Amino acid sequence: MNICRDISLFHSQSAVATIGIFDGVHTGHQLILKRLRELASVYQCETVVITLWPHPRFVLQPDNNELRLLTTLDEKIEIIRNQGIDHLMIIPFSKEFSLTTYEEFIRFYLVERIKVRHVVVGYNHHFGKDRQGTFESLLQSSAKYGFSAERMSPVLIHNSDVSSSVIRRNIANGNMVFSNEALGYRYFIQGQVVSGSRMGRKIGYPTANIAVNDAQKLIPRNGVYAVDVLVEGKSWKGMANIGIRPTIESQVHEQTIEVNIFDFSDDIYGKSITVFFKDRIRNEIKFASVNNLIKQLDLDKKEIMARFND
């Protein structure tokens, strides 16, 4: 897949395209990309995905620290690459770019640069200055400039429309079963193993403490999770705790992410690992003693192994 970050360097004779943020590249997005591939076969042309980075809300609402993302830019690139797309155009989003009207966007990007023949958008897609570009305005422009356009219907899971915002809410609430189904893959975080207090080793449950690569990445709700852990290309089962470790710490500290990797004893300090979340097991609890914590961890491990064996 060709990655273009400078529109002046992009050249195409003919293409089918889609436009969007594509945070998470979830099942709804994947249907759009599948449709692009189908159309490219019909028109005998290339596929182009146009996305914006950074997320517009980070630029237009810099004081709003609530938004966290399902995918970092590198993660989004890799997932789109695996969907068999020819070109990914990453437009640097800025306050200046935000003033681009939908008509200007269509004329310059889609018509003049990409030479688009067909555009596919999601059911709730808006674009251009103040999000004034709608599917109806896209249809009007398509008639003017000689391309065609279509809008995909929403994907429904458990009577809920799949969208990045819906998935974010579910992950923030720890609902990994719905989130994974909506994403079409297990939600994951990537990070480096850093040194911790080593208390887990003392109680028989050594943990890898993870510093997440990107502060904008959404972390699931505090609690204990069944996880798969990818270490140097090999997958291991494990359990993760996200929280403040109330039984161990005497004061409230920053959120930590710790993973106990089952049947694993290698030294991986400083190495990068990926944690895939299968399911949330329970809330984080403050126990009366460390011994009570150990007993609960024993039960947690049995519960997690049972869920993996389902």
pLDDT value at position 39?
97
Is 105 or 131 the better-scoring residue by pLDDT? Answer: 105
Last residue of one domain, picked from the residues 125, 160, 195: 160
Task: Report the C-alpha gap between 70 and 277 in whole angstroms.
Answer: 13
The answer to whether residue 199 scores a pLDDT higher than 80 is no
Q: Are residues 14 and 121 in the same domain?
A: yes
Length of the chain, in residues: 310
Residue 170 lies in a domain: no
CATH no. for residue 98? 3.40.50.620
Q: Are residues 156 and 192 in the same domain?
A: no
pLDDT value at position 205?
87
Q: Are residues 136 and 54 in the same domain?
A: yes
Q: Are residues 228 and 265 in the same domain?
A: yes
Segment 270-299 mean pLDDT: 93
Q: Are residues 8 and 152 in the same domain?
A: yes
Q: Are residues 15 and 118 in the same domain?
A: yes
- Whether the link from the prior residue into 54 is cis, omega within 30° of 0, is yes
Residue 292 lies in a domain: yes
Q: Are residues 204 and 303 in the same domain?
A: yes
pLDDT value at position 7?
86
Segment 125-146 mean pLDDT: 88
Residue 233 lies in a domain: yes
Q: Work out the number of other CB atoms within 10 angstroms of the CB of residue 293.
A: 20
Q: What percent of the chain has pLDDT over 70?
A: 97
Beta strand 87-92 with 46-53: parallel, antiparallel or unpaired?
Answer: parallel
pLDDT value at position 11?
83
Q: What is the pLDDT of residues 247-267, one digit of tens each?
A: 776 555 788 999 999 999 898
Residue 215 lies in a domain: yes
Residue 260 lies in a domain: yes
Residue 177 lies in a domain: no
pLDDT value at position 5?
94
Q: Are residues 201 and 59 in the same domain?
A: no
Residue 180 lies in a domain: no
Q: What is the pLDDT of residues 62-76, one digit of tens each?
A: 988 899 999 999 999
What's the number of domains the chain is made of?
2
Q: Are residues 197 and 90 in the same domain?
A: no
CATH no. for residue 224? 2.40.30.30
pLDDT value at position 265?
87
Q: Are residues 118 and 194 in the same domain?
A: no
Q: Are residues 237 and 109 in the same domain?
A: no
Q: What is the pLDDT of residues 207-217, one digit of tens each?
A: 999 999 999 99
Q: What is the pLDDT of residues 25-52, one digit of tens each?
A: 999 999 999 999 999 999 999 999 999 9
pLDDT value at position 252?
57
pLDDT value at position 200?
62
Q: What is the pLDDT of residues 5-24, one digit of tens each?
A: 998 888 888 999 999 999 99
Last residue of one domain, picked from the residues 119, 144, 160: 160
Residue 165 lies in a domain: no
The answer to whether residue 271 scores a pLDDT higher than 90 is yes
Mean pLDDT of the chain: 92
Segment 165-179 mean pLDDT: 97
Domain with 257, as residue range(s), is: 187-308
Q: Are residues 65 and 200 in the same domain?
A: no
